Amino acid sequence: MRLDKFLTECGLGTRSEVKKLIDENAIRVNGTCKVSPKTSINEKEDIVLFEGEPISYKEFRYYVLNKKSGYVTAIEDYRDKTVMDLLPDWVVRKNLVPVGRLDKDTEGLLLFTNNGKLNHQLVSPKSHVDKTYYVETENIISQNDIKKLEEGIDIGGYVTLPGKVESLESKKILLTIREGKFHQVKKMLESVDNKVTYLRRISFGKLTLDDLELGEVKEVELEEII
C-alpha cells in the first residue's frame, strides 16, 4: 500500500495533509524519514512512526456519534443534511456506514463502522441488541401504559418483544427495546395513545453516550460494543 494511503486510512488526514507531514519529515518508516507519498509499505510489518509514535493500521473501525436532530441517517440525501456531515475530518470514512438508523429528529447514540459483517449482525432482526431511549411525551404515561410497553404491544401488525421501562417523571421514561423496527419507539407510544415529543438514544449494546457532547464523535473498540 502507498504510504499516503496508509496514513490517510490511519486517520492522519487527507492525502494532501499527509503529504505535508511526509514533506516535514514527521513520518518515519523503519527508521528513515527519507520517504515519499508513493513509498510502498507493508502495513502489517513495517514500522511507521508519526512524531516518534507508532501508527497502527486497523482494518475495521468503530465510531460513536452523539447525533444532533435535523440530520437524516443516510450516506447521501438530495434534500437533507446527513449524519455523514456530522463526522469530523479525523474520522476514516472509507466504507464507513451507520449501523441501523435514527430518525431525523432523534438525537443520541449512532454507531458507524466499515465492518460490514458486524453491521449486518447488529441490525439483523435476530440479533436483539439492547437499545435504551430517553423518551419525553405529550401526555402522562400511566402504570397501565408502562405494563403494555413492557409486555409487548401491537404497533400495527407487529407485536413488539417485551421491553423495559424506567419511569423518570410523569411524561419522561427510559425505554429499553431489543429490536429496531421503523419508528418503533414512536409507534409504541402511539399505541398507548401518546406522542413522543423528544427522543434520544442513550445506549446501544454495551455502548453508552457517557459524556459525549451533542454532535461529538469518539472512536471505540469492538470489545466495547457487544
For residue 7, give the C-alpha cell. 496514513
- 200 forms part of the interface with ligand URA (CB under 6 A): no
Q: Which residues contact 34 (CB under 8 A, 6 or more apart)?
A: none
Does residue 35 belong to the site contacting ligand URA (CB under 6 A)? Answer: no
Strand, coil or helix: what is 159?
strand
Residue 80 bears catalytic tag:
no
Q: Is 41 in the site for ligand URA (CB under 6 A)?
A: no
59 CB neighbour count, 10 Å cutoff: 8
CB neighbourhood size of 2 (10 A): 14
Q: What are phi and psi of 70, to 5 degrees?
A: 100, 0
Residues 123-152 that bind ligand URA (CB under 6 A): none
Helix locations, 50-201, DSSP H: 116-123, 143-151, 184-190
CB 18 within 8 A of CB 4: yes
**Using an 8 Å Cβ cutoff, are 202 and 108 in contact?**
yes
The piece of 6-14, 78-86, 100-108, 202-210 that touches ligand URA (CB under 6 A) is 100-108
List the one residue from 43, 46, 77, 103 that touches ligand URA (CB under 6 A). Answer: 103
Told to check if 179 binds ligand URA by CB under 6 A, we report no
Give the binding-site size for ligand URA (rule: CB under 6 A): 8
**Interaction of residue 68 with ligand URA, rule CB under 6 A:** no
| Stretch of 61-69, 116-124, 154-162, 182-190 contacting ligand URA, by CB under 6 A | 182-190
Residue 162 Cβ vs ligand URA, minimum distance, rounded to whole Å: 17
Residues 104-123 binding ligand URA (CB under 6 A) are 106
Write down the least CB distance from residue 202 to ligand URA, Å. Answer: 12
Please state, in angstroms and as integers, the Cα–Cα distance from residue 193 to each residue in 22, 91, 160, following that order.
61, 42, 16
List the catalytic residues: 103
Tell me which residues touch ligand URA (CB under 6 A): 102-103, 106, 183-186, 199
